C-alpha cells in the first residue's frame, strides 16, 4: 500500500489531468479527513491487485467504510470528489453515491395521494384501504379484516369457516408500498405497482397466493400446508421462510431471492426446478432458470426504504423510478440506457433530489417536464 505522500502526489496529478479546479486545496482537504483517507487507502490496495479489480470486494470495502451514519459534511465532501478519485485509484470506472440514510425516518415519497391502495372483496365491494379509520373492521365470508390506521391489513380468521376458498385482491399503485398479514400469520410487504390475490382463509392442503409485481414474504410455519406463490411464470414453494419475489411483466425477467430458510422455485411447466439456500437468487430470463449468489440487502433495500443500485444500467434504474415516482422516462440517445450507476439513496427523497445525486457522479443529464422525464448524455 502506498504511503500518504505518494497518494498525495497521485491525487494532485490526477486532478490536474482531469482539469479539476482547486486541485491542491481539494487534495489537502481530502488528506486531512481520516475517514475518507481510510477509504482511499482501501481502494488503492484493491486497485493494485490486478488490472481489473474485483468489483464485489470493492463494493464490500466501500460499503463497510462509508456507513449510512456518516456525518453530512463528510458525505458532501465525498460526493464532490468520488467521481474523479475512484477511477484513478481503482480503475473500475464505477460511479457511485452514498447518502446518509435513516430507515426509521420514513415519510410519503411524493405528492401523489397515498389513499389509492385498494382492496377488492369477493362480494364486489372495493375498499379504499388508506381512507379507513383506526382499527376499522370488515367482515368477508368468515374472516375479520382489521385495518390499522390505513397502514396495513390484518386478516383474522373467525369461527365460521367458508364452504370454499374466498379470494380478495390487494392492489398497490405507483408511489406506494403496503404491508399486510394473511390469515395464517404470514406477513407480506408489497412494493409499488404490485398486486396480490389471496384467500381470506386458507383451507385445504396448501396456502397459495398470486402475485404481480414485487413482494417480500415472511411465511408462517405450517408443515402440513406448504406456502406457494404463483406469478404466472414462476411458482415458489416455501415452508417457514423469508424471501423476495420480483415479477414485473415489463422487466422481462422473474427473480426469487432467499433471505432465510429454503424454497423450491419452478417454471410454469415445472420443467426447470431449483432449491434455494439463503443468499441465493433464482432468475428466469429467456426461458432459462439460473441460480447465483447475491447480496440480499441490495435486493430487499426497497422494504427498508432505500434504493440500492449496484452497477445498474440506467434502463433498469429508470423502471424503478417510474414505479416509485409515477413518471415516464425516455432515452432519446439509446446508448444512455446502458450507462451504469452505483449508489444507495433514500426512496423517500423527492425525485429532484435523486436526479441531482445521479447527475453529480455520472455523464447523464435529466430533463423533467411534469411526469415526462428524458435522460440525455451530458
* pLDDT for 307 beyond 70: yes
Rounded Cα distance, 326 and 320, in Å: 10
Higher pLDDT, 237 or 25: 237
From residue 21, give the alpha-carbon distance in Å to each of 73, 86, 154.
20, 17, 58
Is 3.50.30.60 the CATH classification of the domain at 305-377? no
The domain spans of the chain are 4-94, 119-298, 305-377
The confidence score (pLDDT) of residue 302 equals: 96
119-298 and 305-377, same CATH topology:
no
- Average pLDDT of 139-160? 67
From residue 87, give the alpha-carbon distance in Å to each of 43, 71, 96, 156.
10, 24, 11, 55
pLDDT band, very low/low/confident/very high, at 31 (cuts 50, 70, 90): low
pLDDT in tens, 167-187: 999 999 999 999 999 989 999
- 119-298 topology per CATH: Jelly Rolls (2.60.120)
* pLDDT for 342 beyond 80: yes
The confidence score (pLDDT) of residue 49 equals: 39
Mean pLDDT score across all residues of the chain: 76
* pLDDT for 153 beyond 80: yes
Higher pLDDT, 211 or 31: 211
Contact (Cβ atoms closer than 8 angstroms) between residue 363 and residue 378: yes
Rounded Cα distance, 352 and 257, in Å: 31
Which parts of 261-363 are beta strand (E)? Answer: 263-267, 273-276, 280-285, 288-293, 306-313, 328-330, 340-346
Contacts of 272 by beta carbon, 8 Å cutoff, 6+ apart? 266, 284, 288, 289
* pLDDT for 238 beyond 60: yes
Contact (Cβ atoms closer than 8 angstroms) between residue 147 and residue 129: yes
Contact (Cβ atoms closer than 8 angstroms) between residue 101 and residue 70: no
Higher pLDDT, 269 or 137: 269
- Average pLDDT of 327-339? 95
DSSP letter at 27?
H
Nearest to 238 by CA among 214, 268, 271, 216: 216
Rounded Cα distance, 245 and 214, in Å: 6
Largest CA distance in the chain: 79
Confidence (pTM): 0.71
pLDDT in tens, 54-103: 444 444 444 444 433 333 444 444 444 444 444 443 333 333 444 443 33
The confidence score (pLDDT) of residue 365 equals: 96
Rounded Cα distance, 176 and 192, in Å: 5
The confidence score (pLDDT) of residue 203 equals: 83
Amino acid at each position: 500500500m502506498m504511503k500518504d505522500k505518494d497518494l498525495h502526489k497521485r491525487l494532485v496529478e490526477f486532478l490536474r489531468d482531469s482539469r479539476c479546479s482547486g486541485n491542491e486545496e481539494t487534495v489537502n482537504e481530502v488528506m486531512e479527513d481520516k475517514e475518507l483517507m481510510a477509504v482511499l487507502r482501501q481502494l488503492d490496495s484493491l486497485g493494485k491487485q490486478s488490472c481489473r479489480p474485483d468489483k464485489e470486494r470493492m463494493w464490500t470495502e466501500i460499503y463497510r467504510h462509508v456507513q449510512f451514519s456518516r456525518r453530512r459534511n463528510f458525505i458532501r465532501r465525498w460526493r464532490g470528489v468520488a467521481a474523479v478519485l475512484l477511477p484513478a485509484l481503482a480503475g473500475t470506472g464505477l460511479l457511485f453515491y452514498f447518502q446518509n440514510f435513516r430507515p426509521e425516518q420514513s415519510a410519503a415519497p411524493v405528492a401523489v395521494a397515498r389513499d389509492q391502495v385498494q382492496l377488492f372483496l369477493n362480494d364486489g365491494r372495493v375498499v379504499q384501504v388508506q381512507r379507513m379509520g383506526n382499527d376499522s373492521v370488515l367482515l368477508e365470508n368468515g374472516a375479520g379484516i382489521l385495518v390499522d390506521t390505513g397502514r396495513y391489513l390484518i386478516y383474522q380468521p373467525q369461527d365460521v369457516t367458508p364452504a370454499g376458498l374466498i379470494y380478495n385482491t390487494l392492489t398497490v399503485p405507483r408511489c406506494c408500498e403496503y404491508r399486510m398479514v394473511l390469515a395464517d400469520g404470514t406477513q407480506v410487504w408489497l412494493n409499488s405497482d404490485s398486486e396480490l390475490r389471496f384467500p381470506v382463509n386458507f383451507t385445504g392442503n396448501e396456502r397459495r397466493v398470486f402475485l404481480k409485481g414485487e413482494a417480500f414474504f415472511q411465511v408462517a410455519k405450517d408443515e402440513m400446508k406448504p406456502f406457494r406463490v404463483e406469478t404466472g411464470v414462476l411458482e415458489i414453494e416455501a415452508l417457514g421462510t423469508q424471501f423476495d419475489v420480483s415479477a414485473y411483466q415489463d422487466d422481462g425477467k422473474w427473480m426469487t431471492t432467499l433471505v432465510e430458510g429454503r424454497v423450491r422455485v419452478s417454471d410454469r411447466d415445472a420443467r426447470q426446478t431449483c432449491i434455494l439456500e439463503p443468499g441465493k437468487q433464482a432468475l428466469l430470463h429467456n426461458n432459462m432458470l439460473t441460480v447465483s449468489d447475491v447480496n440480499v440487502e441490495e435486493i430487499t433495500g426497497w422494504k427498508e426504504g432505500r434504493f440500492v443500485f449496484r452497477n445498474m444500467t440506467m434502463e433498469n434504474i429508470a423502471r424503478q423510478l417510474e414505479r416509485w415516482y409515477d413518471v415516464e422516462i425516455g432515452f432519446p440517445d439509446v446508448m444512455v440506457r446502458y450507462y451504469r450507476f452505483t449508489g444507495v439513496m433514500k426512496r423517500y427523497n423527492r425525485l429532484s433530489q435523486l436526479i441531482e445525486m445521479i447527475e453529480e457522479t455520472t455523464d447523464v443529464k435529466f430533463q423533467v417536464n411534469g411526469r415526462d422525464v428524458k435522460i440525455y448524455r451530458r
